[in-house]
Amino acid sequence: MTLSFAPAEAESLPLTILDPQSLDGWLAEQDDATRTWVKATGFGGAIGSVLILPGTGGAPVGALAGYGTAEQRARQRFVLAAAATALAPGVYHLANALPDDRLEREALGWLLAGYGFSRYRESTPNCAGLKAPAGLDAARLEILANAEALTRDLVNTPASDMGPEHLEEAARVLAEAHGAAMTVTRGDDLLQANFPMIHAVGRAAEQAPRLIDMRWGDRGPRLTLVGKGVCFDTGGLDIKNAASMGLMKKDMGGAANVLGLARMIMATGLQVRLRVLIPAVENAIAGNAFRPQDILTARNGLTVEINNTDAEGRLVLADALAFAAEEEPDLMLSMATLTGAARVAVGPDLAPFFTDDETFASALAGVSDAAADPVWRMPFHEPYEALIEPGIADLDNAPKGGFAGSITAALFLRRFTKGAKSYAHFDIYSWQPSPAPGRSKGGLMQGPRAILAALPKVLDL
């Protein structure tokens, strides 16, 4: 599906946005019939409340949408998205101004309210059309919305139709659409190319493990995105229980998010040399599955003791990060649905990230709110390094004790980034547990809009 604003030439009704504080002032300026109608319906300006205004003969001449109180708005990422799905079908244009710091957010939320995952049954929401508000870069907002739609579609698709080969095809379609080059290393060729941990994690599955390598752009700073592409995670021989396995189709959410971010970067023409690396595997169970207490040697020569086969994401990322770092990118980012500990720490709504780069952290913090893409910085806490050193090998993929699981995972990944001039890791959830305005239940983009907004400051673009 394509998310877009209504054509400028389309007939439209004026939509007036009112909060409880501004309602009385607006009513004072209306005719008696309008005041009587609004008061009779009980419209009070609450978030999600809408009201069609009838003219002579009953034909609609406009509509109202509630904007709620400041306290209520603070609890909603997108406010007008609630009105977008509550209004009668048709096309609307804003009749009054929103605050400058909210206009872009609300317009984006309106577009995202039109998203539905319809691969297996029709589920397009009843979303009213909106003409692009004056003063906004409508084309850019449509790029952002459709990049998120791509990410949501990929995450929402079950592993039966989104295995490693399907994820490769999705990346190839994106590459071809934007003139990017792509190479893929598959199966036993991973061993020949020195990607032993990607091979070990994915070798038990029917679809061969692979490393997807996409490149775009021939000038500007080197930006490398690495996304965890575990298309389904049984936990391996340390098998998950049924409840924990229920959402594992989304364990490739990191890959889906970097593909969404790549789409935004390419579509907006950002002047960078972009590289996207996705280790795509299924962590399956078979006689040749990797085992607890196996010791694997990573691409960069570090040895890793496997103390839990369900901590597989960091293994495939490690090989990809080591490979990416050999090119010494100016900025390298990894995104992964990596740890349950991150969800315990910040819940499903925030995207926690780790970095030693103060410039990147500051830039991200400065733009995330305006981008309607909340992030939260977590520490690379040096004293915890000892927790990932098991003694028998250089690294432990699943430290015992249960403490600081997200931090120890991030510290593990950092061991494979030597050479990159700057590195940040995002431990995302990539899932909306229950529907909210502009955010349907299911797959979710977390972090890319904030990253896109921060890149010009971080890379001096």
> What does pTM read for this prediction?
0.97
Q: What is the CATH number of domain 13-136?
A: 3.40.220.10
Does CATH place domain 142-458 in 1.20.1070.10?
no
Q: What is the pLDDT of residue 393?
A: 98
Catalytic residue among 35, 172, 215, 240: 240
> Range with the lowest mean pLDDT among 52-56, 231-235, 264-268, 360-364?
52-56
Q: What is the pLDDT of residue 225?
A: 99
Catalytic residue among 275, 314, 415, 449: 314
Domain with CATH 3.40.220.10 in the chain: 13-136
Q: What is the pLDDT of residue 56?
A: 86
Beta carbons within 8 Å of 376's beta carbon, 6+ residues apart: 346, 350, 351, 352, 353
pLDDT tens across 286-324, in order?
999 999 999 999 999 999 999 999 999 999 999 999 999
User: Residue 153: is its pLDDT beyond 90?
Assistant: yes
Confidence tier at 123 by pLDDT (50, 70, 90): confident
Q: 332: helix, coil or strand?
A: strand
Domain with CATH 3.40.630.10 in the chain: 142-458
Is 421 catalytic? The answer is no
Q: What is the pLDDT of residue 100?
A: 87
Is 314 catalytic? The answer is yes
Tokens representing residue 187 in the block: 């199966």
Q: What is the mean pLDDT of residues 341-347?
A: 96
Q: What is the mean pLDDT of residues 115-120?
A: 96
What is the residue-wise DSSP string for 209-252?
PEEEEEEE-SSS-EEEEEE-EEEEE--TTSPPPHHHHTTGGGGG
Q: What is the pLDDT of residue 200?
A: 98
Instruction: Determine contact, residues 392/321, Cβ cutoff 8 Å.
Output: no
Rounded (10°) angle between helices 164-177 and 253-268: 10
pLDDT tens across 385-430, in order?
999 999 899 999 999 988 999 999 999 999 999 999 999 999 999 9
Q: 416: helix, coil or strand?
A: coil
CA distance 156 to 4: 21
CA–CA distance from 148 to each of 17, 154, 156 (Å)?
A: 26, 10, 12
CA distance 454 to 448: 10
What is the residue-wise DSSP string for 103-167?
HHHHHHHHHHHT----SSS-------EEBPPTTS-HHHHHHHHHHHHHHHHHHHS-TTTSSHHHH
Residue carrying structure tokens 């039109």: 114
Q: What is the mean pLDDT of residues 159-176?
A: 98
First to last CA, the chain: 32
CA distance 146 to 419: 34
- Mean pLDDT, the chain, whole residue set: 97
| Eight-class DSSP state of 399 | -
CA distance 344 to 347: 6
